[in-house]
Amino acid sequence: MISRSLERFLNDDFELPAFPKVVLRLNQLLASKQFALSEVGDVLSRDPGLSAKVLELVNSSVYGLKTRVETVNRAVVMIGAEQVRQLVIATSVVKMFKSIPHNLIQVEDFWKHCVACGAIAKKLAELQGEEQPDRFFVAGLLHDVGRLILYLKAPEKMNEVFEKVKDGEMLFHEAERKVFGFNHAEVGFQLCRIWSLPDFFRETAGYHHNPEDAFRHHEAASLIHIADFIANALQLGSSGQKYVPLLDDFAWNRSGFTSSIAEGVVNESMEKYEEAIHVLL
């Protein structure tokens, strides 16, 4: 349930950065449940720049396909219409948020952190035998997107947040709640709802700091939490968090991982991380 303070914040005189028309059309098409895969490719082909980004990602080590994909229609066949839509949304979000005040955060560093989280989360999901590990890359990419809205809409208040965290006694999302009455994860949940993303992405964005409170996707939120922790610990980019938050006991216990897996996960994620940064940034 959305809090009154967050509802006021989102309903206030503020226009979210607009998605390209291609994204809106893809949302409509997939919502209809009656479409041919070729239609998805045809819609995406109307935006050559976006099509090129999607093809680059599909052909990168992020997906690890054995054969090269030359067309968006083939990409839809290879990874599925829903996964293509998720990639289109993720790449569009990276492009949409370009006007964050540089005195608050370096946008490139922000996305480096999110890409690292996505690459690590995908590897963790593979280790757990998840049926759709690719969606964890997108979930990691989007997990902190709510913070961009806070930077855009309320830069003065975000300066207050920075003041509260500079001595290390309070974590960033805790300081956000003190200042705003809600935090970036709650904003991220509502953004994913507004963008018509599945519950999986709403909950991984909304509960990556408190996965135990997720409605259904506790394991997924736990994996994103662990990937976020590792990305912060290794200082792979930064979304604003200056200190490494504690690893949540529920998330770690739920994952069934041991500390010995960390080095291998990081090593195997780095190629995906570097290549995705090259494509997206």
Q: Residue 127 sits in a domain of what CATH number?
A: 1.10.3210.10
Q: Is 234 exposed, middle or buried (0-12, 13-18, 19+ CB in 10 A)?
A: middle
Same domain? For 10 and 45 the reply is: no
Quick one: what percent of the chain has pLDDT higher than 90? 60
Same domain? For 171 and 218 the reply is: yes
Q: Are 200 and 219 in contact (CB under 8 A)?
A: no
Same domain? For 110 and 200 the reply is: yes
Q: Is 140 exposed, middle or buried (0-12, 13-18, 19+ CB in 10 A)?
A: buried
Same domain? For 84 and 194 the reply is: no
* Location of structure tokens 């709510």: 146
- State yes or no: pLDDT of 18 exceeds 90: no
**Residue range of the domain that includes 147:** 4-15+99-280
How many structural domains comprise the chain?
Answer: 2
Instruction: Please say which residue of 55, 75, 96 terminates a domain.
Output: 96
Rounded to 10 degrees, the C-alpha dihedral 30/35/37/41 comes to -70
Mean pLDDT rounded to a whole number for the chain: 90
pLDDT in tens, 56-98: 999 998 888 889 999 999 999 999 999 999 899 889 999 888 7
Instruction: Please say which residue of 73, 96, 119 terminates a domain.
Output: 96
Distance CA 179, CA 158 (A): 8
Same domain? For 159 and 25 the reply is: no
Closest by CA to 83, choosing from 61, 111, 63, 68, is: 63
Q: Taking the model in full, what pTM does it have?
A: 0.92
Same domain? For 167 and 205 the reply is: yes
Number of other CB atoms surrounding residue 11 within 10 Å: 8
Lowest mean pLDDT among 16-20, 36-40, 54-58, 217-221: 16-20
- Measured in whole angstroms, the distance separating CA 80 from the mean position of its chain's CA atoms is 19
Instruction: Please say which residue of 51, 78, 96 terminates a domain.
Output: 96
Question: In the prediction, which pLDDT does 72 show?
Answer: 93
Distance CA 261, CA 26 (A): 38
Same domain? For 45 and 90 the reply is: yes
pLDDT in tens, 231-254: 999 999 988 777 788 899 999 998
Same domain? For 36 and 143 the reply is: no
Distance CA 126, CA 110 (A): 25
Reported as type and span, the H/E element at residue 186 is helix 184-194
In this prediction, residue 265 has a pLDDT band, given cuts at 50, 70 and 90, of confident
Same domain? For 272 and 229 the reply is: yes
Same domain? For 118 and 66 the reply is: no
Q: Which of 10-14, 103-107, 151-155, 208-212 has the highest mean pLDDT?
A: 208-212
**The two structure tokens encoding residue 170:** 């309070």
Same domain? For 34 and 103 the reply is: no
Contacts of 214 (CB under 8 A, 6+ apart): 203, 206, 207, 220, 221
pLDDT in tens, 149-161: 999 899 999 999 9
Lowest mean pLDDT among 52-56, 85-89, 132-136, 263-267: 263-267
Distance CA 108, CA 281 (A): 7
In this prediction, residue 1 has a pLDDT band, given cuts at 50, 70 and 90, of low
DSSP state of 209: S
Question: In the prediction, which pLDDT does 239 show?
Answer: 82
Same domain? For 162 and 213 the reply is: yes
